[in-house]
A and B are shown apart, each in its own frame.
Chain A
Amino acid sequence: MAANSPAASAGTYRSSRWREHLDTVLPKLTLVPTGAAALIFLYGFIAWTIWLSFTKSTLLPNNRFAGLAQYRFLFKLDTWWVSVTNLVIFGVLYIVICLAIGLFLAILIDQKIRAENLLRTIYLYPLALSLVVTGVAWKWILNPDLGLQSVVRSLGFTHFTFDWLVQPHMAIYTIVIAAVWQASGFVMALFLAGLRGIDGAIIKAAQIDGASLPRIYLRIIIPSLRPVFFSAVILLVSMAIKSFDLIIALTGGGPGYATWLPAIFMYNYGFNRGQIGLGTAAAVLMMLAVALALLPLILSELKEKRRASTR
């Protein structure tokens, strides 16, 4: 090797030092644009949003401080409370039904029913569709004059009614239907991965211990899927809170404002009605909600790490 001779090593000394330096700096350097973009467009704009929610901004942002006035006004608005109530109804139903269907499908597939690959593809397909496509498709299916209702009526059941889409009190449930259809395959995939991770010998051991199959699922398998439940819930919560495009495509927030969610509220006030201060206040509350939902995950992750490092 040339580097071993004294003359050569003296000659390459400077250039190898420089290269070493470059080696340590270059990776950091390449991260700078991304880091700067994240800093400005993510955290910068979060900070700006929070600031705007404390100002009297209307059509255009301004810096006239208003204290908590926007929040106080927000809490008096009927549309806000409808949005929040809708979010609770939608969120709870969406999460519970997605978990139930996802788990059920995963167990069915795990029980080695036929055509597993086909079914998995079918169930996962909705996730590949954009929410807007999902929304439009269900808009047609649920439209009383075009979709399910008219089809069933044309079959001769002339009194069949399924017009939730145009019923102010029922419209939110159509959003639940479409959203569940979209996400339950994904939840199934999560559970299936969890089920596949369970040692088959555990099930055999439980059989020998005298447990029936439902018992085995209830007492052993489902409880040991706890981490999967946890991540599924966290993901679904944040997806529920952020729901926007599906509703715009499916109901447009209507009838009236019956299917508004906070995200729609924020968009409407912030951009359509020239109430930027109010819109940002709603946005800040939404962000708090997402943060609260994600907090347990972050905490448990940290705890895992700490436990792993002390081991």
Chain B
Amino acid sequence: MSVLTIRKINKTYGNEAVLHDINIDMQDGEFLILVGPSGCGKTTLLNMIAGLESVTGGEIAIDGRRINGLGPRDRNIAMVFQSYALYPNMTVRGNISFGLEMRKVPRPRRSEIVNRVAKTLQIEHLLDRKPAALSGGQRQRVAIGRALAREPSLFLFDEPLSALDAKLRDEMRTELKILHQRLKTSMVYVTHDQIEAMTLGDRIAVMYGGRVQQLGAPQDIYDNPTNRFVAGFIGSPAMNFIPCELAEENGAFGVRLSGGEETRLLPLPDAIADKLKSWGRGKAVLGVRPEHVTPSTAEQQTEAVSCPVNVVEPTGPNTYVFSKVNDVEIIVRCTPGHAPEAGSRAKLEFDLSKALFFDPETDDRVA
């Protein structure tokens, strides 16, 4: 059964439309990520699900029940905020049990739940402290604990980890994932961090400009983005976009690539070539991920393009090489030790079976 259904949701502030025709259907127990750049409307959408923001048009249902007009307290949801939003005057215990108290849960049951939640999140020793006496990570745990206490149908997280430092963020991310696997509750999780999105989500909704650009499983979105925005947003370092000419020579259909010296026509696999032929234009944007371009080791490689090596950046597990093809900068991922030297030239091989093509005008995917 679907726990959350969002149908044709619109939102306008005054004359400014910030959300357009959002449709999402979420299965019970799913971990759904809303990801997108700043200002794309993630928080607005989440607040509309929570009932903190009115719905301009469309319908939201939780557990099959239409909730458009209901207040936040009647929606059976819990929310974790980016700023934690702990009640500063209450102890951790008070913070966790406040929602239960407001829902008239009897006192003994309340303390039972508080203890259970504290144990789950390992914050038992903090129960009598005020939020001001907690570290950022501990506050975040308490904020999650406050949400867990109520056993709602749906958890909403608004960038819960973005205020933490990098190391703690990684730890909490893993913990959240474990928590979700154990509790199997439905969660909607907002982030602008695509790594968080990839690692946590069962499904990801990539948003941009108030629209859901693509909704799907992380790997699917990574491999098969529907447009140039999604392709560039998901993945780090970002996908390379190379404007190029499509041409047919000696019966081979391919792309023309040049590293500044001679121009090569690299033939495309049949499946891609067929799509591009039926699309029928001469110019496209080639999208290729950094890991699908490799410096060639073989001496006589006909399908490699000789390119300049401008900068070499070792990061430990990978070394990134910055080069230039068709006058745009591209990033190439190499294994350390096999990276070419900065200032030299290298032959780059393009794995065109993984290549994507976008319409230069509309940015839609064409192959």
Whether B89 lies near A226 (C-beta < 8 A) is yes
Q: Does A208 contact B (CB under 8 A)?
A: yes
Q: Does B137 contact A (CB under 8 A)?
A: no
Q: Mark B66-107, 1 if CB is under 8 A from A, else 0.
A: 000001110001110111111111100000001100110000
Query: How far does the alpha carbon of A219 sit from the alpha carbon of B98 in the complex, in Å?
Result: 10
Which of the 9-residue segments A110-118, A162-170, A197-205 touches chain B? Answer: A197-205
Q: Mark A10-35, 1 if CB is under 8 A from B, else 0.
A: 00000000000000000000000000
Whether A220 lies near B52 (C-beta < 8 A) is no
Whether A206 lies near B98 (C-beta < 8 A) is yes
Interface residues, chain A, CB within 8 Å of chain B? Answer: 199, 201-202, 204-211, 215, 219-220, 223-224, 226
* Interchain Cβ contacts within 8 Å, total number: 64
Whether A210 lies near B52 (C-beta < 8 A) is no
Whether B72 lies near A223 (C-beta < 8 A) is no
Query: How far does the alpha carbon of A132 sit from the alpha carbon of B252 in the complex, in Å?
Result: 98
Question: Could you say which residues of chain B place their CB within 8 Å of the CB of A201?
Answer: 81-85
Query: How far does the alpha carbon of A307 sit from the alpha carbon of B82 in the complex, in Å?
Result: 28
Whether A207 lies near B71 (C-beta < 8 A) is yes
A201-B81, A215-B102 known; A208 vs B50 contact (CB < 8 Å):
yes
Q: Does B347 contact A (CB under 8 A)?
A: no
Q: In the complex, what residue of chain A is closest to B94 when comparing beta carbons?
A: A219
A63 shortest CB reach to chain B, Å: 54
A204 shortest CB reach to chain B, Å: 5
Q: In the complex, what residue of chain B is closest to A222 when comparing beta carbons?
A: B89
Partner of B77, one of A208, A211, A224, A226: A208
Whether A206 lies near B87 (C-beta < 8 A) is yes
Contacts beyond the supplied A205-B79, A209-B73, A210-B99: 20 A-B pairs with Cβ under 8 Å: A199-B83, A201-B83, A204-B47, A204-B52, A205-B146, A207-B51, A207-B72, A207-B73, A208-B50, A208-B52, A208-B72, A208-B77, A208-B99, A209-B99, A209-B150, A210-B73, A211-B98, A224-B87, A224-B89, A226-B89
Query: How far does the alpha carbon of A226 sit from the alpha carbon of B98 in the complex, in Å?
Result: 20
Question: Could you say which residues of chain B place their CB within 8 Å of the CB of A224?
Answer: 87-89
Partner of A209, one of B51, B52, B88, B146: B146
Show 5 A/B contacts (Cβ-Cβ < 8 Å), sorted by A.
A207-B52, A208-B78, A215-B102, A219-B87, A224-B89
Whether B85 lies near A204 (C-beta < 8 A) is yes
Query: How far does the alpha carbon of A215 sit from the alpha carbon of B102 in the complex, in Å?
Result: 9
Query: How far does the alpha carbon of A45 sit from the alpha carbon of B282 in the complex, in Å?
Result: 95
Give the dominant DSSP class at B's interface. Answer: loop
| Interface-centre pick from A210, A215, A219 (highest chain B CB count, 10 A) | A210
Give the dominant DSSP class at A's interface. Answer: helix
Q: Mark B26-57, 1 if CB is under 8 A from A, else 0.
A: 00000000000000000000010011100000
Whether B73 lies near A208 (C-beta < 8 A) is yes
Query: How far does the alpha carbon of A96 sit from the alpha carbon of B263 in the complex, in Å?
Result: 85
A195 shortest CB reach to chain B, Å: 13
Whether B103 lies near A220 (C-beta < 8 A) is no
Interface residues on B, range: 20 to 34
Q: In the complex, what residue of chain B is closest to A208 when comparing beta carbons?
A: B72
Query: How far does the alpha carbon of A87 sit from the alpha carbon of B113 in the complex, in Å?
Result: 52
Query: How far does the alpha carbon of A10 sit from the alpha carbon of B78 in the complex, in Å?
Result: 74
Question: Could you say which residues of chain A place their CB within 8 Å of the CB of B79?
Answer: 204-205, 208
- Name the 4 nearest CB pairs between A and B, nearest first: A209-B99, A201-B85, A210-B102, A210-B73
Q: In the complex, what residue of chain B is closest to A215 when comparing beta carbons?
A: B102
Question: Could you say which residues of chain A place their CB within 8 Å of the CB of B77?
Answer: 208
Question: Could you say which residues of chain A place their CB within 8 Å of the CB of B73?
Answer: 207-211
Whether A204 lies near B87 (C-beta < 8 A) is no
Whether B89 lies near A211 (C-beta < 8 A) is no
A1 shortest CB reach to chain B, Å: 37
Query: How far does the alpha carbon of A208 sit from the alpha carbon of B51 in the complex, in Å?
Result: 8
Query: How far does the alpha carbon of A206 sit from the alpha carbon of B73 in the complex, in Å?
Result: 9
Query: How far does the alpha carbon of A223 sit from the alpha carbon of B82 in the complex, in Å?
Result: 23
| Interface-centre pick from A201, A204, A205, A208 (highest chain B CB count, 10 A) | A208
Whether A220 lies near B87 (C-beta < 8 A) is yes
B141 shortest CB reach to chain A, Å: 15
Query: How far does the alpha carbon of A206 sit from the alpha carbon of B83 in the complex, in Å?
Result: 14
Q: In the complex, what residue of chain B is closest to A220 when comparing beta carbons?
A: B87
| Interface-centre pick from A202, A215, A224, A226 (highest chain B CB count, 10 A) | A202
Question: Could you say which residues of chain A place their CB within 8 Å of the CB of B90?
Answer: 220
Whether B102 lies near A205 (C-beta < 8 A) is no
A204-B52, A205-B79, A205-B81 known; A210 vs B103 contact (CB < 8 Å):
yes
B76 shortest CB reach to chain A, Å: 10
Query: How far does the alpha carbon of A210 sit from the alpha carbon of B105 in the complex, in Å?
Result: 12
Partner of B102, one of A199, A204, A209: A209
B65 shortest CB reach to chain A, Å: 17
B97 shortest CB reach to chain A, Å: 10
Whether B81 lies near A204 (C-beta < 8 A) is yes
Question: Could you say which residues of chain A place their CB within 8 Å of the CB of B52?
Answer: 204, 207-208
Q: Mark B130-151, 1 if CB is under 8 A from A, else 0.
A: 0000000000000000100010
Q: In the complex, what residue of chain A is closest to B98 when comparing beta carbons?
A: A209
A208 shortest CB reach to chain B, Å: 5
Query: How far does the alpha carbon of A207 sit from the alpha carbon of B81 in the complex, in Å?
Result: 13
